[in-house]
Chain A
Amino acid sequence: MTHGALAAADHGEHEHPSEQKYIKIAIILTIITAIEVAIYYIDWMHDSGALVPALFILSIGKFLTVIGYYMHLKFDSPLFRYMFIAALVGSLAVIGALIALLRVHTIDFGPGGFIS
């Protein structure tokens, strides 16, 4: 994080997308949301176990689109990108660990089964 590099990157106008682009992105986001809801009503998705991974991928796509374009992380100073991504990854790691620790601590090692 040197002076020069950041300062050079951030003087002047950022290259923000145009209004048309914003509207296009909104249409894409709407379509993804519609797909999410639609696949929820397809039995096959439930039965095959594909629903949850599909929902994860779709919502991660929406998430990244909003932070990248609407919050300008894709165009703005790298400092903001580092700050937010670091916080996001850190939070995800802690959440993941918490869920793993607390959902598994009820392990029943007896003959009854693995997760009680």
Chain B
Amino acid sequence: MASIAQPQVMAQPITKPATGLWSWLTTVDHKRIGIMYGVTAFLFLLLGGVEALIIRTQLARPNLDVVSAARYNELFTMHGTTMIFLALMPMSVAFFNYVMPLQIGARDVAFPRLNAYSYWIFLGGGIILNLSWFFHAAPNAGWYGYAPLTSTSWNPGRNVDFWLIGLQVLGVASMLAAFNMIVTVINMRAPGMTMMRMPIFSWTTLIVSILLVMAFPAITAALILLAFDRYAGTGFYEYAAGGDPLLWQHLFWVFGHPEVYILVLPAFGIVSEIIPVFSRKPLFGYSVMVYATCAIAFLGFGVWAHHMFTVGMGPTANAVFAGSTMLIAIPTGVKIFNWLGTMVKGSLRFTTAMLFAVGLVSQFVIGGLSGVMHASPPVDSQQNDTYFIIAHFHYVLFGGTVFGLMAGTYFWFPKITGRLLDERLGKWNFWMAFVGFNATFFPMHFVGLAGMPRRYFTYSEDSGWGPWNLFITIGAFVLATSFLVFIINVVKTLRNGEVASDDPWDAATIEWATSSPPPVYNFASIPEITHRDQLWWDKYGDHGAGSGVERKAPAPKEQVDPSSIHLPNPSYFPLVSAFGFFILALGMLIDNPVLTIGLLHLPILVPIGGLIMVVAIYAWAFEPAG
């Protein structure tokens, strides 16, 4: 279907990528946007890490006074919010952006400019959240923002406003990215790439994006109600006004539990790509893996109230949600066994990527098992709001998500940069992360069961928790050092790392068929897909990956002249419009000066930002897309 303005301007011939700052600001290339997501998210990860280290320093000994109780509230709130919304989610989106279109043999995502827009809005949201530090108003009501901690009577400052506006902006970015990913996977696959031939990572991209577009509206609505409570004085979450604080908890967790799967399923997708490659065996139970992913996503919408067993929902509700929560262990267990089944009798190569992937399998199991423990309401009543919960979800989100994302980084780094990360430093990186991670979070099970509550800024001498806490803090610093090793590795590799071939790992999927790094147009001619693990089929045919018997090289396909490939034009309107949105959102927080139109009092930044945003969108709509 032709678009209105399409034929007017021919895209410039693309033989080599443009360079310079302007080319990055106006880029609509999914690979560059992926890199920008990855780098930005990593910087936010470091920021969240520093917040965690301050928290751990404060807790190293009893009755320390490194930070005040109020500052401590801000730190744990921002640590959680940053890690979830600004580090892990966008890092997953980075892989969606970079890898998925290559894996399905597309030239770009379905809506390239929308993709750039998502990134710039995300950046704006991240900046807004962190600007709060400079206004002495960092969010302080926890990443879950429970009512009435967020009400104006208990929290009169701008702290919660920064949080709710920031999340709202980030929600827009996530949803726009997710719509794009859904359409790309459904509609942009190379010829012959049926859904059941699609690499598992692309499958998880689709499923996670569906989760995003179905889960985020709940928190959008919840945040709108919170904004009305705070800005207009309604009482949606005020018991005295006829409202109900529990409505917030329910809406938040209707979003919040699928969010857990939004965070962890991409990592599962990544290790499902890595383990077969380094076992030289196709993934064990591919279709079961796909169904398990769908089942987790589906069940993930029916378990939210297990976060609320202690609020008094009554025995029926508790029993139902306990049951559905335990049910979700089944598809998750299926995945674990599929990974193990892939490794059985494989010729294993323990590269750093593989180590992190196997690390995920082992560490996530620990997190999963403690999860099954407090799926039981009586057990949960003991463990709720203690460090046991902290231990549990860090095993899921660090042992699961971060290990998976690190595995993906070591795996795809040569494809992205054309250079292989150093394996010796990589092994140091992995083992320090593994030891540091377990030293940090395993003892939290013990102090949690001993009764140490989460979110308290200190504890007394005679609690007996002191020695473990010192140990945990030391572990946290070891863990932090592992990231230093990673940074050194990246810098060293970019300077003079080993140059990677197109297919350094002897991998299975078609992103390794193009050059490293890929050209702007990804593939000179779009590959025809005839098999799952297409690249292995191309290389080994029926002999299989582990055989070492190379198939006779297939006749090279006719190469398309790259300058004839039609790609979208770069555009600065996504950046301009996202900037307008940023200003508009900022206007909700900086209420001086005020513009008065009749009865309406608006902070001046709101109409200015809104105008920039809308004008840029219209300009974009009528801009030749190329």
- Chain A residues with a Cβ under 8 A of chain B: 1-3, 79, 87, 90, 93-94, 97-98, 101-102, 104-105, 107
Q: Report how far A86 CA is from B66 CA in the complex, Å.
A: 51
B305 within 8 A of A: yes
B214 touches A107 (CB 8 A): no
Return A89 CB to nearest CB of chain B, in Å: 11
B214 touches A105 (CB 8 A): no
Return A14 CB to nearest CB of chain B, in Å: 14
A102 touches B250 (CB 8 A): yes
- Cβ-defined partner of A90 (8 Å) among B214, B244, B313: B214
Which residues of chain A come closer than 8 Å to B244, judged between CB atoms? 102
Which residues of chain B come closer than 8 Å to A79, judged between CB atoms? 186
Task: In the A-B complex, list the 5 residue pairs whose CB atoms are closest, starting with the nearest.
Answer: A1-B195, A98-B250, A2-B194, A105-B313, A3-B194
Q: Report how far A93 CA is from B218 CA in the complex, Å.
A: 13
Q: Report how far A43 CA is from B389 CA in the complex, Å.
A: 56
- Cβ-defined partner of B246 (8 Å) among A1, A87, A102: A102
Which residues of chain A come closer than 8 Å to B194, judged between CB atoms? 2-3
Instruction: Take A2-B194, A90-B214, A105-B312 as given contacts and tell me if A98 and B246 are in contact as well, using a CB distance cutoff of 8 Å.
Output: no
Return A78 CB to nearest CB of chain B, in Å: 13
- Cβ-defined partner of A98 (8 Å) among B192, B254, B312: B254
Which residues of chain A come closer than 8 Å to B305, judged between CB atoms? 101
Q: Report how far A102 CA is from B308 CA in the complex, Å.
A: 12
B195 touches A105 (CB 8 A): no
B314 touches A107 (CB 8 A): yes
Return A109 CB to nearest CB of chain B, in Å: 9
- When C-beta atoms are compared, the residue in chain A nearest to B320 turns out to be A97
A101 touches B317 (CB 8 A): yes
Which residues of chain B come closer than 8 Å to A87, judged between CB atoms? 214
Q: Report how far A87 CA is from B301 CA in the complex, Å.
A: 12
Q: Report how far A87 CA is from B302 CA in the complex, Å.
A: 14
Which residues of chain A come closer than 8 Å to B311, judged between CB atoms? 105
Main secondary structure, interface of A, reads: helix
Return A15 CB to nearest CB of chain B, in Å: 19
Instruction: Take A2-B195, A90-B214 as given contacts and tell me if A104 and B250 are in contact as well, using a CB distance cutoff of 8 Å.
Output: no
Which residues of chain B come closer than 8 Å to A94, judged between CB atoms? 218, 254, 301
A105 touches B254 (CB 8 A): no
B interface size (C-beta, 8 A):
20
B247 within 8 A of A: yes
- When C-beta atoms are compared, the residue in chain A nearest to B311 turns out to be A105
26 contacts between A and B (CB under 8 A): A2-B194, A2-B195, A3-B192, A3-B194, A90-B214, A93-B301, A93-B302, A94-B254, A97-B302, A98-B250, A98-B251, A98-B254, A101-B250, A101-B305, A101-B313, A101-B317, A102-B244, A104-B314, A104-B317, A105-B246, A105-B311, A105-B312, A105-B313, A105-B314, A105-B317, A107-B314
Q: Give the residues from 250 to 292 in chain B that come closer than 8 angstroms, CB to CB, to chain A.
A: 250-251, 254
- When C-beta atoms are compared, the residue in chain A nearest to B305 turns out to be A101
Which residues of chain A come closer than 8 Å to B251, judged between CB atoms? 98
Q: Report how far A105 CA is from B244 CA in the complex, Å.
A: 11
Return A58 CB to nearest CB of chain B, in Å: 27
Q: Give the residues from 178 to 197 in chain B that come closer than 8 angstroms, CB to CB, to chain A.
A: 186, 192, 194-195
Instruction: Take A1-B195, A90-B301, A94-B301 as given contacts and tell me if A102 and B254 are in contact as well, using a CB distance cutoff of 8 Å.
Output: no
Q: Report how far A107 CA is from B316 CA in the complex, Å.
A: 12
Q: Report how far A104 CA is from B317 CA in the complex, Å.
A: 10
Which residues of chain A come closer than 8 Å to B186, judged between CB atoms? 1, 79
Which residues of chain B come closer than 8 Å to A3, judged between CB atoms? 192, 194
Q: Give the residues from 160 to 202 in chain B that come closer than 8 angstroms, CB to CB, to chain A.
A: 186, 192, 194-195
Return B174 CB to nearest CB of chain A, in Å: 17
Q: Report how far A101 CA is from B302 CA in the complex, Å.
A: 13
- When C-beta atoms are compared, the residue in chain B nearest to A95 turns out to be B254
Which residues of chain B come closer than 8 Å to A104, judged between CB atoms? 314, 317
Q: Report how far A107 CA is from B317 CA in the complex, Å.
A: 12
Which residues of chain A come closer than 8 Å to B250, judged between CB atoms? 98, 101-102
Which residues of chain A come closer than 8 Å to B312, judged between CB atoms? 105
Q: Give the residues from 200 to 222 in chain B that come closer than 8 angstroms, CB to CB, to chain A.
A: 214, 218
- When C-beta atoms are compared, the residue in chain A nearest to B196 turns out to be A2
Q: Report how far A104 CA is from B301 CA in the complex, Å.
A: 20
B214 touches A102 (CB 8 A): no
Return B307 CB to nearest CB of chain A, in Å: 13
- When C-beta atoms are compared, the residue in chain B nearest to A94 turns out to be B254
Return B121 CB to nearest CB of chain A, in Å: 23
Known: A79-B186, A93-B301, A105-B246. 20 other contacts (CB 8 A): A1-B195, A2-B195, A3-B194, A87-B214, A90-B214, A90-B301, A93-B302, A94-B218, A94-B254, A98-B250, A101-B305, A101-B317, A102-B246, A102-B250, A104-B314, A104-B317, A105-B311, A105-B313, A105-B314, A105-B317
- When C-beta atoms are compared, the residue in chain A nearest to B316 turns out to be A104
Q: Give the residues from 281 to 339 in chain B that come closer than 8 angstroms, CB to CB, to chain A.
A: 301-302, 305, 311-314, 317
Return B326 CB to nearest CB of chain A, in Å: 18
Return A108 CB to nearest CB of chain B, in Å: 11
Q: Give the residues from 469 to 518 in chain B that come closer than 8 angstroms, CB to CB, to chain A.
A: none
Q: Report how far A98 CA is from B214 CA in the complex, Å.
A: 16
Which residues of chain B come closer than 8 Å to A1, judged between CB atoms? 186, 195
Return A93 CB to nearest CB of chain B, in Å: 8
Which residues of chain B come closer than 8 Å to A101, judged between CB atoms? 250, 305, 313, 317
Return B368 CB to nearest CB of chain A, in Å: 24
Q: Report how far A111 CA is from B311 CA in the complex, Å.
A: 22
Return B225 CB to nearest CB of chain A, in Å: 13
Which residues of chain A come closer than 8 Å to B195, judged between CB atoms? 1-2
- When C-beta atoms are compared, the residue in chain B nearest to A98 turns out to be B250
Q: Report how far A13 CA is from B210 CA in the complex, Å.
A: 29
Q: Report how far A105 CA is from B312 CA in the complex, Å.
A: 7
Which residues of chain B come closer than 8 Å to A105, judged between CB atoms? 246, 311-314, 317
Which residues of chain B come closer than 8 Å to A98, judged between CB atoms? 250-251, 254
Q: Report how far A79 CA is from B206 CA in the complex, Å.
A: 15
Q: Report how far A3 CA is from B189 CA in the complex, Å.
A: 10
Return A11 CB to nearest CB of chain B, in Å: 12
